[in-house]
Amino acid sequence: MDNHKVEISYKPLRSNLVNLPSNLSNLLFNANVNIQDVIIELVLSSGAKRYTGWSGMSSSKIRTLEIDPIFAQSLNLSDKHQVTLNLKLNNFETTQINLEPVTSSDWELVELHAQILEDKLLSQSRCVSMNQVLVVYPSQTTSAKLIVTDIGTKDRNYAKISPMCEVSIAPKVRVKKSESTSGKSTKSSKSSRAEDYSNLPSVLKRGISLPHNIFSDLPSHSNPDGYEIYVNFNEVIHSLNKAEYVAVSIVPGPNSKHNIVGSGNQSQEQNQNQNVAKENSKEKISSPLKENKRVIAKLVNCPRCPSNTVGLSTKLAIALNVESQVGSIVVLNPSVKNISKKPSSFVIHPYVLQTKKTDQINLNSTEKKDAKTKILQALTTLFYNEQSSINNSPITNYIKLPIVPHLLPNGGLLKFKRNDDVNAWIKPFALSEDKKQIKLEMGEELIRNQSFIQEIESESQEKDEAIGLDKMIEEAVDSITINKNSGTLIYGNSGSGKTLMLDLIASKINSDYGYHTKYISCEKIMNENFNLLSNNHVMKWIQECSWHKPSLLVLDNLDKILPAEMEHVDSTISNQLTEFLITRLQKIYSQHNSNLSILISATSKEALNKLLFQCHLLEHFYHLSPPDKNTRLDIINGYMTDKLGCEIKFDVMDMVSETEGYLANDLKILCDRIYHESLFHHAQSNNPHDLKITKENFEKALKGYVPSNLRGVKLQKSSISWSDIGGLKEAKNILLETLEWPTKYAPIFANCPLRLRSGILLYGYPGCGKTLLASAIAGQCGLNFISIKGPEILNKYIGASEQSVRELFERAQSAKPCILFFDEFDSIAPKRGHDSTGVTDRVVNQMLTQMDGAEGLDGVYVLAATSRPDLIDSALLRPGRLDKSVICDMPSFEDRLDILESITTKMDLMEDVNLKEIAEKTAGFSGADMQGLGYNAYLKAVHVKLSNDELQAVKGEKHNTKDKTSFDFFQVNSEKLKNAKLRPADRVKILQQIEQLFNEEAISSSNKTKPETTDSESLKVFISQKDLLDSLKETKPSISVSEKTKLQKIYNQFVSGRDGNMPDGTPSNEVGGRTTLM
């Protein structure tokens, strides 16, 4: 398939591919040759060879080769030109290509449309050849030309482009020449310097702005306060040829602020359509002034500098607008010759964010002149001291100045007076023969955006210490730095310290390993639509991190924008955005030498979209659980003593014991409440400055505070105490051993090599205290209590019951230490195969997973109660699940006596009551029957009390009628009373009657002042032996003898009658027998 003579025909294909003559294309199609495998060699009449790819299409005419005119001109192929065509099928495939723009305009186009070119390069080109021009078409109206400088091998002249090929494009920054204001000789010298400047070789390095831990050990002869760049001379000695000073510039990456921004948001697109000829013309810096994009700096040898990395001094980074950045692409060029004559003065143009408002115009204001004079004097003193960078570093024309407090609050621009050459610079004054100072002048103010102004470092605040997380942080840092393109997930409840851990990991990786870190709080953008999230956020994050590699993208609370699918909620945006993120990251990972790791946080694994886990984007997982006892002790001591400066005057272990299950943020809030409570208490004392924390302050602060993991969790609180339960001594002891001892004696049980028992089955006769025992144990052990009745979690829809079980255990996990109590357990988890709908079968399967999964239960105790343990699925009774079965048997005589004493503790009994007699006569009664007996006896006593009160009331009315005194009321005329004449005998009689009235009034008032003990005594209900016996006659045992015998047989077989042989699943043939799998 060689030596085919064809004629060149122009056709706007807008690619580096050609259309073959129909005879050749048909031949390739019949041979089933892949289009991508065909490389076309074109031999010109001069013998030169050009290489291109096949578009898969046929030309319109026979023996014509259709080619794009722009691509043809770059290959020196004219229309109607005759060439020889050779087809190459078995070709070398390259994985690395180095390109260089032909002009700076081509570089600007490539830089602007980098993402489009990355997407369309393979569709526009098939092969590359050394020193051949490759034309790229970013849009329908533009094109850029790139020269191939390396194809990954020196043995071949051309190569096929691999789909996994890495393409590197060297920058070619536009160089502006300035017109000199002096004579012809000066003008020609500047012109020659500019030409030499553009022809010098460039060195690309990864830059790290100082101060940084990697460059903490600088050479002794360095001056970090000046304009210096630190590099390993062994890496640049061939390119820079031992240059003392270099021109440093930054290749602006995606989303980066550029150092030539003028007033407002001027874009580089203004220069993209300029003619190439105009680029080589002489230009002047016109108003508004722009900062120099090339800064002259002293080259300092730093042998300990990491490979392919340079360090930028603080002032140099500010001048290039990359302060505090890691991963900038730095271009180094040998500097042109400095100007021989020093400028007469430096003009400083201060930066302002906006023009000042004024109500009047003051011409030749003395106040402004005096203010400028003072600023100039202060700046002169500051600039020309012995340690100043002006004296010890090179100064570049149009350089950006750092912020000087009170003098240049926003920074400024320094310009040589009467010199507009952007390439002009002067050597340090200390090395100059002329020691004379250059005058400083204040120029006009320049308006700049806030983003362009130097970032002011906030006052160094002490970061919170991650107590108890040091090991986890070290593991996360190792997993990110050792493995390229790794994914790490940190999950935990809100307030567990996820954001703090992300911050500490990112800071450590940035400071110790030189990674570029990008922190994103997803909560701030959770309400935006898909277009904004994908194009304005996700795309920019990935582009920025990919540019500054190695880099770390930190996504805090990613579940806010990529939530898991939920019922009755539209998950379209979440799925689309997740796929978009995965596609972009995988595209970056497929590139050669990529290193972009992600670090994300969420409340749980289930809260994130499942697509993130299906594509293996996340590899390392770290769970932040509530702190243990020792960690809580360290947190409380550290925060109360170090942060708040308080003196604790009680045993801190009391506080630690009361805060079981608290998260780190809960402890912080509680300590703040204690602190404020103590402040309020001490403010009322004589010495408010002596702040001491007492147990009373802690108790008041703890009262009413609900930790975050218990907010919204429905917890049952029972008023039943441990002493209210009579009998069941063995069951009580087992429950205390299982539930109270691991909490009370935590250090001892922490050394246990085996997993502790966390599941107990309470079984026994109905009414024997199973539910009562479970509700009282939580209060006795100080644990949270969640009670579940059987039908609450059953749902006919597939998956709903399992979801209820999962949510139930998650709720218990968030409220740990917690007791999860299942009442009537046989209705929730019967033997699988009994249910025709399969609901309980799925519930049993889910409970088996939850109770004995790989992670196990941490701080959650499962308590189940049933009267028919034989109906429960036997898999739930195996070790690791409900591995301890406790029987609540029918009460014996001692148990019945204990129950009666517990019931009658709060009742008033007469002296004739004999509880032993009642206990002897209640054989066969359950605990519930005994309780009913006591309540019935109380009702009997109430009836007796009411009848007695009625009789006393009737007797009292009769007695009151006998002693009833009648009073006659009459009106007396005061005038007649004065004139009335009484005999002495009548007067004495009246006085005696009055005295008798006063005595009766005194007696009645004394009776009212007596304590009202008689009323409370009259309200008491006293229970007699007769009441108990009468109640016993009316009360019958709730469990019949036949049912008791049946249950006793079941319990005996459950305890000792079972063997290890499992049923084979054969259905029962008995009448009424149920089909079951067990």
**Contact in structure between 760 and 862 (CB atoms under 8 Å):** yes
Q: 103-107, 321-325, 386-390, 646-650: which range is least confident on average?
A: 386-390
In the chain, the amino acid numbered 704 is G
CA–CA dist 617, 623 (Å, integer) = 18
Strand 446-447 relative to strand 412-416: parallel, antiparallel, unpaired? unpaired
Residues comprising the chain, all counted: 1078
With 60 as the cut, is the pLDDT of residue 751 above it?
yes
pLDDT of residue 121: 83
CATH number, domain 898-944+1021-1038, options 2.60.40.790, 1.25.10.10, 1.10.8.60, 3.40.50.2300: 1.10.8.60
How many CA atoms within 13 Å lie on the side-chain side of 997?
8
Kindly indicate the confidence band of residue 193, based on its pLDDT and cuts at 50, 70 and 90: very low
Kindly indicate the confidence band of residue 836, based on its pLDDT and cuts at 50, 70 and 90: low
pLDDT of residue 973: 53
Kindly indicate the confidence band of residue 428, based on its pLDDT and cuts at 50, 70 and 90: confident
CATH domain 722-889 topology: Rossmann fold (3.40.50)
With 80 as the cut, is the pLDDT of residue 1067 above it?
no
Mean pLDDT of 197-205: 63
pLDDT of residue 283: 40
Kindly tell me the sign of the dihedral angle through the C-alpha atoms of 150, 155, 158, 162. Answer: negative
With 50 as the cut, is the pLDDT of residue 266 above it?
no
**Contact in structure between 929 and 1038 (CB atoms under 8 Å):** yes
Q: 153-157, 178-182, 438-442: which range is least confident on average?
A: 178-182
User: Which of 206-210, 896-900, 917-921 has the highest average model confidence (pLDDT)?
Assistant: 206-210
Q: Is-same-fold flag (629-710; 898-944+1021-1038)?
A: yes
With 70 as the cut, is the pLDDT of residue 833 above it?
yes
pLDDT of residue 600: 94
Mean pLDDT of 871-899: 83
With 50 as the cut, is the pLDDT of residue 36 above it?
yes
Sequence-ordered list of residues with C-beta below 8 angstroms from that of 976, at least 6 positions apart, any chain? none
CA–CA dist 513, 623 (Å, integer) = 25
Kindly indicate the confidence band of residue 517, based on its pLDDT and cuts at 50, 70 and 90: very high
629-710: CATH class: mainly alpha
DSSP assignment of 179-236, as one string? --SS-HHHHHHHHHHHHHHHHS--EEEEEEESS-GGGSS--TT--TTSSEEEE-HHHH
CA separation, residue 628 to residues 499, 755, 781, 856 (Å):
20, 17, 18, 17
With 70 as the cut, is the pLDDT of residue 832 above it?
yes
pLDDT digits (tens, 9 = 90+) for 287-318: 467 888 889 998 888 888 888 899 999 888 88
Chain center to CA of 844: 35
Q: Compute the C-alpha angle 238/244/250, nearest 5°.
A: 75
pLDDT digits (tens, 9 = 90+) for 903-915: 888 788 888 888 8
With 60 as the cut, is the pLDDT of residue 431 above it?
no
pLDDT digits (tens, 9 = 90+) for 559-612: 999 998 887 788 888 899 999 999 999 888 888 788 999 999 999 888 899 899
Strand locations in 70-202 (E):
82-88, 93-101, 127-129, 133-136, 144-150, 158-169, 177-178
> String of b and e for 916-939 (b: at least 16 CB within 10 Å)?
eebbeebeebbbbbbbbbbebbbe
**Contact in structure between 846 and 808 (CB atoms under 8 Å):** no
Kindly indicate the confidence band of residue 272, based on its pLDDT and cuts at 50, 70 and 90: very low
Q: Which residue has the higher pLDDT, 363 or 706?
A: 706
* Token pair recorded at residue 982: 């009484």
* Token pair recorded at residue 964: 């009833």
CA–CA dist 290, 262 (Å, integer) = 5
pLDDT of residue 519: 93
CATH number, domain 1-90, options 3.40.640.10, 3.40.50.1370, 2.40.40.20, 3.40.50.1820: 2.40.40.20
189-265+286-355+371-456: CATH class: mainly beta
pLDDT of residue 179: 41
CA–CA dist 636, 642 (Å, integer) = 10
Q: Which residue has the higher pLDDT, 998 or 615?
A: 615
Q: Could you tell me which of 64, 73, 63 has the C-alpha nearest to residue 16?
A: 73
Beta bridge partners of 688: none
pLDDT of residue 854: 46
pLDDT digits (tens, 9 = 90+) for 672-729: 888 888 887 776 555 545 677 888 888 888 888 887 767 766 666 666 777 778 888 8
Enumerate the domain spans of the chain: 1-90, 189-265+286-355+371-456, 470-624, 629-710, 722-889, 898-944+1021-1038
Mean pLDDT of 374-380: 76
How many CA atoms within 13 Å lie on the side-chain side of 1045?
3
CATH domain 470-624 topology: Rossmann fold (3.40.50)
**Helix (H/G/I), strand (E/B), else coil: 443:** coil
Average pLDDT, the chain: 78
